[in-house]
Amino acid sequence: MAVKLALPKGRLLRKTAARLDRAGWGLDEYNSSIGYYRPKSEKFPEVLIRVFHEKDIPIQIATGNYDLGICCRDWVEELLAKYPSSAIVKVSDLGYGQGSLYTAAVAPPRANGAPVRIASEYPNLAEAYALRKRLSRFSVFPVWGAAEAYPPENAELVLLPAGEGNIGGAGLTPLERVLDYSACLIANRASRTAKDLDKIITSLCTAVSSEKAASGVEPSPPGEIRTTVSVKASPGTVRLALPDGHQQQQTVNLLNRAGIAVSDYPSATGNRRPAIDIKGVTVKVIRPQDMPLQVANGNFDLAVTGRDWLADHSAQFPASPVSEVLDLRLRRVRLVAVVSNEVPADDVAGLRDYIARRGEALRVASEYVNLADKYARDNHLGHYHVIPTWGATEGFLPEDADLLIENTETGRTIARHNLKIIDTLFESTACLIGNNAALSDAAKKKRIGLIVGKLKTAVEAGA
Amino acid sequence: MKVPRAKGMRDLSPEEMQVFRGVEAICRRCFTGWGYREVRTPTIEYLHLFTSAGTLTPGRLGKVYSFLDWDGWSGERVVLRPDGTIPVARYYAESLRDEGVARLFYAANIFIFEESPERPRERWQCGVELIGAGAALADAELVALSLETLRQLGLKDVEVRLSHAGLVRALLEKLGLSPEERHRTFDRILDGDADLLAEITRDSPGLGRAIRPLLGTKGRSPAFLSRQGVELAGEMPELAPYLDDFLATVTVLDELNCAGKIDIASGAGFEYYTGVIFHLYSAGERVGGGGRYDALIPAMGGGDVPAAGFALDTDALMNLVRPEAVAPMEEKSVLVRLKSGVIKDSFRLGAALREKGYSVALDLGGKPLDADRTIEVRDKAPVFVVIDKTKARREAPDIAGVLKLLEDKGGC
């Protein structure tokens, strides 16, 4: 049976590619500039290789979809913190990609007993940390990124990797080094006994052992500490969250059309607290995926996000106090159910029949884990697993998943991957969402009305 | 499609359920006989009930089933109850704090993740909590009640192992560990790492010399503990209050003929214990245990109220009891075999028999029930035929006649 290897994108790609090159793997396509996900090796043509987001790799190895994988140890430990009996074996430290996870805060920790909110991309490690530190009352906000932007108003503590000034530069004080990590080779436990992996393991490890001694890089300490921030919002202040990432430019254009000036957004220096020209309004820049949860728990009154993320949040928390306030008519996409062209089903009823005949659990891969779960439940898809992913989900079919819940603008990427759409869940555009309590708060109503009015005029003018 | 049960979960067969209910019934009878009243707390509680300082060890908290509820957008997690005592303590603090002494018991399931799917992840307990009473007498009541319950369950050769959480903590203080290490070490002891205490005292020879005799103590009498205690308190006077407390309980237990083996290193249990800890063993298997937890009710905001309790492990007891010793008296069972056209008569017969205390089932096919009697209901005379286990047949014209036949001791 062919050996399956999962290689990382992102921070480890360049060094991993260089090392494989030195080991003579002769990969046809594995570099940062292209979106092809299945490189082939001249040296090991029988090895099935697939490029994943690094965070996906421990899950792919644990579930046995892949036999071997390369990723940093932080994501392995994040999985093991919640699922200690995962079928993952750490084969070897590869000696590059070093870093450290730190807890950090603006203010020193308060006496135990006070509620502590922890924002982190590593929610399982954050929970394990809180238990180990015997925090008596804590809640963890799993975030897609920008954890450093949350303290002090929206979280007391963050757990994040040190780098690019995200600790000191964000006005945070590092409290504790929680985990040192570097790239490592991991294997599925059953694969290690069932398949002959030695040749590949030897090649991957030998390729790096010669450099390991030479590099010996220590984890970089957190950057210089700058004491700033601490924005204590007065009652009646409206807190607005704006998106980073690819929604940013369209949001800037809309704000311009609405005559709302937000300075330093997007920021060249990574400033996540730009100033807005409306008195009594504060702005913070966070990931759009994280906004519905943050608006629900009252950290923000208004936020610009996508209806897809609001729907995913509502699928998890049906009674959540978040409402769509205004359709901003930007970034129009469809949320669709997608299968491989090889699947003999053209709609969800056909998929149900196919699953019943097949008799195996259906693997549903999606960035929208709650929507995917709800879709499978609502459509009686029987025995199914949801595999959380972090982007480029279309590459999962057909080997690594059976069904995707995915967004698409034109459907072209889906068609290019030899996939087909069997159902449309809904249409999503960017929207302004609000916290229900804030929307009916007399002290905030006027300012919220002003923002909504300006945006509405701009949206209608642009229609 | 066959769907197996979830890993670490267990089905109980009708026969096992009979034993299960039998064990519960005996526990309930014993507990109520000592003035305890039954309570039921919810299966789901907030995680922070268990993370509050001094409740469960991080090792145990790392194995709770926690999740975000459907309205958990604040990030506050809930858990499937991982322990029986803490929810009862919460209930007391919330609803009974003016009651003074409260004697409460529960029969409940608790959920703890176990790596091996062979080990149960759901366990059943019958537990009692004596809240509002301190002192040796209360500890002795609990040990005596636990022993009486095990006796009523038919268990012989029950062994009690006694330790003292305050004493173990004080010994750890002497090791000069940092607060973090002390916590970790105590957690390991509480998580059942019994060798650890011996191991660390080996590394501190001076201290080891003083406490090793106590760690190795397997004595039974108060005099023995007293001798050891005098020696130890001479070298470490700060241990004296804990030794006195321990000795007071052991003395009362000795008077009641309930004293067990003094085994300080058997500290495994929960972090919330502050005083005497006891473990109950039968046939080499741990069947229950308990102890004093004077800091728990105050931590729940219930005032400065002392408390202690114990829990018996229902699953372990089910394996040890003789089923016939705990199973309730078998009901007199009847199988009604009916022909079409006599449905109404058959149902009327069933109702009349049930009123007289019979367990009556209609024969719907499948494997025949092992009933004491089978009654055929026919559409012509004789309408009722009563057949006993020897296949002897007797006829009755009506329901009254059937009842007469069944009650006729000499009959079939």
- Poorest-pLDDT segment among A346-355, B16-25, B335-344: B335-344
Let me know whether A387 and A291 are in one domain: yes
Which pLDDT value is given to residue A217? 41
Residue B409: its pLDDT value, please?
54
Check CB contact of A84 with chain B, cutoff 8 Å: yes
Instruction: Note whether A265 and A384 are same-domain residues.
Output: yes
pLDDT digits (tens, 9 = 90+) for B194-220: 566 567 666 666 666 555 655 555 666
A22 and A81 in a common domain: yes
**Considering only CB atoms, which chain A residues are within 8 Å of B77?**
139-140
Closest by Cα among A201, A191, A151 to A66: A191
The ipTM of this complex is 0.78
Report the pLDDT averaged over residues B51-67. Answer: 80
Select the more confidently predicted residue: A358 or B29: B29
A221 falls within a domain: no
| Model pLDDT, residue B219 | 66
Residues pairing with B130 in the sheet: B103, B308
For residue B70, list chain A residues with Cβ-Cβ distance below 8 A: 316-319
CB contact under 8 A, B53 and A140: no
Among the ranges given (B25-39, B68-82, B310-324), the one the predictor scored with the smallest mean pLDDT: B68-82
**Residue A196 and residue A159 in one domain:** no
Mean pLDDT of B331-344: 85
The answer to whether residue A225 sits within a structural domain is no
Same domain, A55 and A103: no
pLDDT of residue A230: 47
Q: How far is A36 from chain B (nearest CA, A)?
A: 37
Instruction: Give B-chain residues touching A138 at CB under 8 angstroms.
Output: 48, 51
Specify whether A462 is located in the same domain as A411.
yes
Is the residue at A44 inside a domain? yes
**Mean of pLDDT over chain B:** 86
- Range of weakest confidence among A103-112, A442-451, B295-304: A103-112
Judge whether A111 is closer than 8 Å to chain B, CB to CB. Answer: no
Query: In whole angstroms, what is the distance from residue B407 CA to residue B250 CA?
Result: 55
Cβ count near A337 (within 10 Å):
24
Tell which wins on pLDDT, A303 or B74. A303
For position A207, what pLDDT does the model report? 60
Q: Nearest CA of chain A to the CA of B20: how many Å?
A: 31
Model confidence at B377: pLDDT above 90: yes
Distance CA A59, CA A388 (A): 8
Give B76's contacts in chain A (Cβ within 8 Å).
139
Beta-carbon neighbour count of residue B273 at 10 Å?
A: 27
Using CA atoms, how far apart are residues B45 and B62, in angstroms rounded to an integer? 16
Q: Distance (Å, rounded) from C-alpha A289 to C-alpha A145?
A: 9
Residues of chain A contacting residue B72, judged by C-beta atoms under 8 Å apart = 317
Q: Do B58 and A132 touch (CB under 8 A)?
A: yes
Which residues have a Cβ under 8 Å from the Cβ of A387 and sit 6 or more positions away?
Answer: A59, A63, A363, A364, A365, A366, A396, A400, A401
Tokens of A287: 């990931």
In chain B, which residues have their Cβ closer than 8 Å to the Cβ of A321?
73
Report yes or no: A302 and A438 within 8 Å, Cβ to Cβ.
yes
pLDDT of residue B196: 65
Question: Considering only the top CATH level, what class is B158-282?
Answer: alpha beta
| pLDDT above 70 as % of chain B | 85
Place of tokens 């090792």: B59
Which part of chain B is CATH 3.40.50.800?
A: 332-407
Q: What is the pLDDT of residue B190?
A: 59
- pLDDT surpasses 50 at A216: no
| Predicted local confidence at residue A214, as pLDDT | 44
pLDDT on residue B411: 43
Q: Is the pLDDT reported for residue A115 higher than 60?
A: yes
CB B115 to CB A85 under 8 A? yes
Instruction: Assign A84 a pLDDT band (cuts: 50, 70, 90).
Output: confident
Average pLDDT over residues A204-223: 53
Higher pLDDT, B375 or B326: B375
User: A357 and A209, same structural domain?
Assistant: no
Residue with more model confidence, B370 or B1? B370
Residues of chain B neighbouring A319 (CB-CB closer than 8 A):
70-71
Residue A163 lies in a domain: yes
The partner residue sitting opposite A134, judged by closest CB among B3, B58, B73, is: B58
Matching residue, tokens 């960035």: A367
Q: Is the pLDDT of residue A14 over 80?
A: yes
- B68–A136 C-beta distance less than 8 A: no
Pick the CATH number of B1-155+288-329 from 3.30.930.10, 3.40.1160.10, 3.40.630.30, 3.30.450.20: 3.30.930.10
Establish if A437 touches chain B: CB-CB under 8 angstroms. Answer: no
Residue window 342-381, chain A: list those with CB within 8 Å of chain B. 359
d(C-alpha A51, C-alpha A57), whole Å: 9
Q: Which residue of B has its CA nearest to A297?
A: B74
- Would A391 be classed as within a structural domain? yes
Fold of B332-407: Rossmann fold (3.40.50)
Nearest-CA distance B68 → chain A (Å): 9
Q: How far is B180 from chain A (nearest CA, A)?
A: 9
Helix or strand holding residue A196 (H, E): none
Residues 278-307 of A with CB under 8 A from B: 293, 296-297
Please state the rounded mean pLDDT for residues B6-14.
93
Position B365 confidence tier, pLDDT thresholds 50, 70, 90: confident
Q: Where in chain B is the domain with CATH 3.30.930.10?
A: 1-155+288-329, 158-282
Q: Let me know if residue A385 belongs to a domain.
A: yes
The C-alpha atoms of residue B75 and residue A183 are separated, in whole angstroms, by 31
- Testing the interface with A: which of B2, B73, B74 to mutate, by most A Cβ within 10 A? B73
Residue A44: pLDDT above 70?
yes
pLDDT in tens, B312-333: 999 999 999 998 888 766 668 9
Classify residue A223: in a domain, yes or no: no
Lowest mean pLDDT among A347-351, A429-433, B234-238: B234-238
Looking at A255-264, B212-221, B382-391, which range is the least confident one?
A: B212-221
Of A67-71, A85-89, A260-264, B219-223, least confident by mean pLDDT is B219-223
Write out chain B residues lying below 8 Å of A128, CB-based: 62
pLDDT exceeds cutoff 80 at A456: yes
SS3 A234: coil
Considering only CB atoms, B53 lies closest to which of A112, A297, A383, namely A112
**What is the percent of chain A with per-residue pLDDT over 70, rounded to a whole number?**
91
CA distance B295 to chain A (A): 15
Q: What's the number of domains chain A is made of?
A: 3
Residue of chain A with shortest Cα separation from B74: A297
Let me know if residue A227 belongs to a domain: no
pLDDT band for position A226 (50/70/90)? Answer: very low
Contacts of A297 in chain B (CB under 8 A): 73-75
Q: Higher pLDDT residue, B188 or B363?
A: B363
Residue B234's pLDDT band (boundaries 50, 70, 90)?
Answer: confident
Confidence category of residue B170, pLDDT binned at 50, 70, 90: confident
Q: Does residue A256 belong to the interface with chain B, where contact is any CB pair within 8 Å? A: no
Q: Assess whether A59 and A111 both reside in one domain.
A: no
Bridge pairing between strands B77-80 and B102-111: unpaired
Task: Give yes or no for residue B63 having a pLDDT over 50.
Answer: yes
CB contact under 8 A, B75 and A137: no
B120 φψ region: left (φ > 0), alpha (ψ -120 to 50), beta (else):
beta
Residues of B in contact with A293 (CB under 8 A): 73
Closest CA to B92 of B272, B267, B297: B297
Q: What is the mean pLDDT of residues A213-239?
A: 56
Predicted pLDDT at A218? 45
Q: What is the pLDDT of residue B53?
A: 54
Q: What residues in chain B have their Cβ under 8 A from chain A's Cβ atoms?
A: 1, 3, 48, 51-53, 58, 61-62, 68, 70-77, 115, 183
* Chain B residue whose CA is closest to A117: B75
CB contact under 8 A, A138 and B48: yes
Among residues of chain A, what percentage have pLDDT more than 90? 65
Contact A383 B3 (CB under 8 A): yes
Output the pLDDT for position B202: 66
Angle between helices A123-132 and A73-82 (to 10 degrees): 70
Which among A139, A143, A52 is positioned nearest to A396, based on CA atoms? Answer: A52
Are residue A38 and residue A115 in the same domain, yes or no? no
Q: What is the dihedral of CA B49, B50, B51, B54, to 10 degrees?
A: 110
Q: Kindly state the average pLDDT of the residues B110-117.
A: 89
**Do A319 and A434 share a structural domain?**
yes
Instruction: Tell me the C-alpha distance between A363 and A400, whole Å.
Output: 8
Residue A102 reports pLDDT greater than 60:
yes
Residue environment code for B163-185, b if the CB has 16+ CB neighbours within 10 A, otherwise e: bbbbbbbbbbebbebeeeeebbb
Least Cα separation, residue A37 to chain B (angstroms): 34
Check which CATH number belongs to the domain holding A47 and give it. 3.40.190.10
Instruction: Please indicate, yes or no, whether residues A388 and A258 belong to a single structural domain of this protein.
Output: yes
Q: Which whole-number Å values give the CA distances from A160 to A150, A164, A390, B156, B351, in the listed order?
A: 12, 12, 18, 57, 70
CA nearest B51 in A: which residue?
A: A136
Residue of chain A with shortest Cα separation from B69: A317
Query: What pLDDT shows up at residue A246?
Result: 82
d(CA A249, CA A61): 37
Task: For A136, name the nearest residue in chain B, comparing CA atoms only.
Answer: B52
Which chain A residue shows the shortest CA-CA distance from B180? A133
Residue B73 has its nearest CB partner, among A84, A136, A320, at A320
Structure tokens at B34: 């000592």
The predicted structure's pLDDT at residue A295: 97
Q: What is the mean pLDDT of residues A47-62?
A: 92
Higher local confidence (pLDDT), B192 or A423 = A423
Residues from chain B that touch A134, judged by Cβ atoms under 8 A, are 51, 53, 58, 183
CB contact under 8 A, B48 and A132: no
Q: Do B73 and A134 touch (CB under 8 A)?
A: no
Q: Which domain holds residue A262?
A: 232-463
pLDDT tens column, A293-343: 999 999 999 999 999 999 999 999 999 999 999 999 998 999 999 999 999
Residue A155 confidence class, pLDDT cut points 50, 70, 90: very high
